[in-house]
Structure 1
Amino acid sequence: MTSTNHVQAKQELLNDPTANHEHLPILGHAELLDGAQKLVFDTTPEDANTIASIQTIAGTGANHLGALFLAKTIRPRTVWISDPTWINHEEIWKLADPDIKRQKYPYFNKEILDLDFEGAMSTLSSMAGEGDVVILHGCAHNPTGRDFTKEQWRAIASICEQKRLIPFFDLAYQGFATGVWMKMLGP
């Protein structure tokens, strides 16, 4: 059953002469992308040209397009996936390029029911190689819900920079759990 509000909203959209009812451009809705970039990256006009964004169909579509893009352009040897992780990550990368190794890095310690930050850092420091991709859940890690602290994020950024790793952020739940993660990082 359709509610009156839905019918009214649909009618308002249909009657709005300024509403664009055509297909979106290939990259998506420009105003949505601009707003999302400002929210996620806190962009300024000076750095807006250093960030590329596209609109996708939900999280699986975004992860799949990102994996395909990286598989075809930088051709990483390995993608590092947290253990545990969202069930689709491994399959998405297998479909993008079955020759890219899918390795796990420790994320959650089931014995103490908390992050295994030391295990993650140790694994990435000793085993990840230049050009490898590291999937990082920006916030509300799926399935644990546990997030890195500000200091831990800085340490991860440092490892990525030192080892020239490619961070791939899965940001499905921004604003949940510990909050808006980029704002938390500070200057």
Structure 2
Amino acid sequence: MLNLKIIVTSTRPGRKGIIFGNWLTEVAKQLPQFNVELLDLAEINLPMMNEANHPAMRKYEHQHTRNWSAKIEDADAFVFITPEYNFGFTAAFKNAVDYLHFEWKHKPAAIFSYGGISAGTRAQQAVRLVLSSLSVTVVNEAVTIPMFTQYFDEELNFQPTEQIERTTAQMLQALVKWGNVLKAGRSEE
């Protein structure tokens, strides 16, 4: 079984990422290949990087860093749920990634993005570059939701289309495949 961490990266009040995160968590829990945990960067509330040592040294001074390290070390795969801010991804997302180094390595990730007409695709491209520098395998299968507010009802319940459900299933299956391959490779290190 793979430990899948679904990470909601938006922290601002009124954000919709947590709604997507809750929906995706329920979908992923239906797959027997995953043990799923939702991680919300708003709740985790990491301060701007305040560790004196480079993350590759793993000499963490703060408990919040040790806690974050344990959560990510335990993962076999990730889904990052990200909006697009000014053609990029959130500062909280970059900060959370930068806190760690080895904990990310040789694990697959998928990106679930949302936004206006671009559906967060520019944020996805920026995320891919950052994650690749940490030896994270970003799968090609992704979910992109354009003009995302149209998918919410009056009570702010997410109403996915068949296309969104299909691409979500493809994304999760890609994580199963890559997750098993990379987990086997990490066991040989």
Give the shorter-chain TM-score range. Answer: 0.3 to 0.5
The structure, 1 or 2, with the larger RCO (C-alpha pairs under 8 Å, 6+ apart) is 2
The TM-score, its normalising length taken from structure 2, stands at: 0.36
The TM-score, its normalising length taken from structure 1, stands at: 0.36
